């Protein structure tokens, strides 16, 4: 695959494959130059463990490990300690785990993996107002995102995961520094799957994203390589 003008805003491909062979098959069809960033999430990590992370890292890809840690502070700090020797550049924790949980995780990260960026997950992009209300949260999703974002930034988290619909509000509220990663990105006319709060790649870039995460529109496409290339091109055009 010829390298596309790499956009300064990465399109991180979510490698949510049911088998190691399919995941590695996708990586063989691209290069770290054409797709610098990949995301390993719960599905692949639970199946393949840290060995896969080392293998993907050794192949030259930058890794966003999306484990969405959420437990008592001591356990989350221990998990960050266990993960700190892996070749990962970003790792997620749920901001709803609380201030102390995030601070303890940051303490370990700063001690053992100073280059690792911890991201606070605000409200999952699959949740809408009704889904949040079912968990007892009666705030609108954007208000709850803002509240969790404020807590994560108070803890010292350098970045957040949010839906593209909240990007403008978060930039207005918290400025240009937080690294805002957004899943819930769907090319125009694409299948939504279980995502409810979505935007197109171009809209997400224009709304202030630092990085996009795209999974099924690429991994389930008839031609995944063409799909990722199309999204990268759309993002590059949106920046110009």
> Which are the catalytic amino acids?
68
Output the smallest distance, CB 171 to ligand C5P, in A: 18
Question: Which residues is 118 bridged to in the sheet?
Answer: 91
Output the smallest distance, CB 105 to ligand C5P, in A: 17
Segment near ligand C5P (CB under 6 A); pick from 1-9, 202-210, 214-222, 232-240: 214-222
16 is an interface residue for ligand C5P by CB under 6 A: yes
Output the smallest distance, CB 186 to ligand C5P, in A: 7
27 is an interface residue for ligand C5P by CB under 6 A: no
- Dihedral sign from CA coordinates of 27, 238, 148, 80: positive
125 is an interface residue for ligand C5P by CB under 6 A: yes
- Interface map 38-67 toward ligand C5P (x if CB under 6 A): ---x------------------------x-
CB of 77 or CB of 145, closer to ligand C5P: 145
Closest alpha carbon to 229 in 217, 239, 159, 66: 217
124 is an interface residue for ligand C5P by CB under 6 A: yes
Kindly determine how many residues on this chain lie close enough to bind ligand C5P according to the rule CB under 6 A: 16
Instruction: Please select the residue that binds ligand C5P; options are 183, 190, 201, 224, rule is CB under 6 A.
Output: 183
CB of 54 or CB of 68, closer to ligand C5P: 68
Which residues contribute to the site for ligand C5P (CB under 6 A)?
14, 16, 41, 66, 121, 124-125, 161, 183-184, 193, 195, 213-216
């Amino acid at each position: 695959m010829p390298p596309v003008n790499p956009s300064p805003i990465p399109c991180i491909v979510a490698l949510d494959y049911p088998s190691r062979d399919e995941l590695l098959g996708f990586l063989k069809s691209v290069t770290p130059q054409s797709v610098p960033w990949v995301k390993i999430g719960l599905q692949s990590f639970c199946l393949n463990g840290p060995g896969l992370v080392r293998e993907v890292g050794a192949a030259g890809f930058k890794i966003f490990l999306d484990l969405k840690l959420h437990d008592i502070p001591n356990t989350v700090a221990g998990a960050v300690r266990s993960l700190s020797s892996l070749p990962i550049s970003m790792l997620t924790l749920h901001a709803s785990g609380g201030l102390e949980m995030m601070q303890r995780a940051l303490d370990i990260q700063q001690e053992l993996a100073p280059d690792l960026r911890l991201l606070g997950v605000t409200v999952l992009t699959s949740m809408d107002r009704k889904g949040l209300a079912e968990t007892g949260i009666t705030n609108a999703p954007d208000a709850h995102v803002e509240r969790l974002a404020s807590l994560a930034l108070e803890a010292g988290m350098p970045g957040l995961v949010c839906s593209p619909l909240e990007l403008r509000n978060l930039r207005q509220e918290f400025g240009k520094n937080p690294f805002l990663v957004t899943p819930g990105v769907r090319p125009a006319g694409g299948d939504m799957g279980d995502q409810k709060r979505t935007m197109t790649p171009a809209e997400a870039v224009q709304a202030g994203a630092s990085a996009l995460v795209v999974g099924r529109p690429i991994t389930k496409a008839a031609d995944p390589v063409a799909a990722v290339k199309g999204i990268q091109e759309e993002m590059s055009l949106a920046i110009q």
